[in-house]
Amino acid sequence: MQNIYKILFLDDDTQITNVVSDFFKGSRLDIWACNDPDEAITYLKSNQVDCIITDLKMPKLNGLLFFNKVRDEICVKTPGILLSGDINQEVKEEAKNVGLGAVFEKNLNPSQFEQKIIDFIEKKSISRQTQY
């Protein structure tokens, strides 16, 4: 039996969160999508997830600052993925500095996106198990 992974998906664009939620229904990814960083933080305070996926550019709090805050205050070891339509070396470095484990382009097709998320989580899970 294959694992089902709980994902917090944060993007300020409701169209994107709706599409992601709809596409992954019934898949190995149990998506909890939200459009507001404060709502995401509230959710994480009372729910465990296997991975946090956040958009980079958001009006209230960009994805880097959001993940840094979550890492400092709530989910120290939860792996994270940054999504952006504009990835460059500086973004990759900043993502690495706040503890995000991967940076994905927003234009991935949904099947590729699902497999990349699963591969990322499983790789991080094995890595955490070998650290103990």
pLDDT value, residue 60: 87
> For residues 92-120, b (16+ Cβ closer than 10 Å) or e, as one string?
eebbeebbbbbbbeeeeeeeebbeebbeb
Report whether pLDDT(127) > 70. Answer: no
* Domain of 77, in residue numbers: 5-131
Provide the CATH number for the domain around residue 56: 3.40.50.2300
Taking only the tens place, the pLDDT of each residue in 53-89 is: 999 999 989 999 999 999 998 978 899 999 998 888 9
- Rounded CA separation 78/92 (Å): 18
- Total count of domains within the chain: 1
Q: Give the rounded percent of residues in the chain with a pLDDT score beyond 70.
A: 94
Output 118 or 107, whichever has higher pLDDT. 118
Indicate the pTM of the whole model: 0.91
